[in-house]
Structure 1
Amino acid sequence: MSLLDSGPDTVTVYPTVAVDDGYGGTKPGPGAPVTLRARVLPSTTDESGEPGYLTGTEYRVYARSLPAGPWSRVEWAGTTWAVVGEPQHFGGGRRLAHHVATIRKRG
């Protein structure tokens, strides 16, 4: 049993899909939610240039398969989070393959 297959956290990912923008084109929109087991660990806390002010804390989501992208939304711990950039994919064989996404609290 891998730590990637039985993570202690439950996350709901709303993958990005192309939706009609009403003008004959498409725009990114939320897709059908996908609930999965993952491991969520703190990543960084950045301090701004002024003392006493902090920017949002970032977390990393580790999962066997993570259907997320730059416009995706993640719900975890009763809070809505935005995916920062593209998730990273790590190969190395069937047992070690996994995705890692950085999430930041939506404001």
Structure 2
Amino acid sequence: MSLLDHGTETITIYPAGPPRPDGTRGPAGEPVTMRCRVQPIASDSPGVEGYTTTTTYRILARELPAGPWDRVAWRGSDWTVTGQPEQYRGSRRTRHDTATIRRR
């Protein structure tokens, strides 16, 4: 039994459509709900009053149907996929995808 096949978290991915003339992106398709692993990467602690904390997480899944700027719903918050998800194509047992998400 692999940790990649039986994630402990449930996320919903909302694919982002092409850019509109005003710079926003609409939905590109139906949302996808899946089980995955979510790990913290970094948390910027506020150094001066008035700054907010920026936390980033890594999503790990056997196959991750996410792309840049997709919206992810996780634990009641909205997150954005930052950058292109990475695909690790090793052996059949170790292949997986990862994506970095940041709070919207």
Q: TM-score range by the shorter chain?
A: 0.7 to 0.9
- Identity, in percent, stands at 51
Letter in 2 for 1:29: G
Match among 53, 58, 61 for residue 60 of structure 1: 58
- For structure 2, which runs of at least 5 residues remain unmatched after alignment? none
Aligned alpha-carbon RMSD (Å): 2.1
Letter in 2 for 1:79: S
Aligned partners of 1:45 and 1:54 also within 8 Å: no
Task: Report 1:1-107 matches (<5 A).
Answer: 1-18=1-18, 21=20, 28-30=25-27, 31-47=29-45, 51-52=48-49, 53-106=51-104
The normalised TM-score by structure 2 is: 0.83
1:95 aligned counterpart, secondary structure: coil
The normalised TM-score by structure 1 is: 0.81
Cα deviation code 1:28-83 (max 9, x no counterpart):
432211011100010012357x5353441000000111111112010001111000
Q: Using the TM superposition, give the Cα deviation of residue 17 of structure 1 relative to its aligned residue in structure 2, in angstroms.
A: 3.7
- For structure 1, which runs of at least 5 residues remain unmatched after alignment? none
Alignment length, in residue pairs?
100
Structure 1 stretches of 4+ moved >4 Å: none
Q: Using the TM superposition, give the Cα deviation of residue 97 of structure 1 relative to its aligned residue in structure 2, in angstroms.
A: 0.8
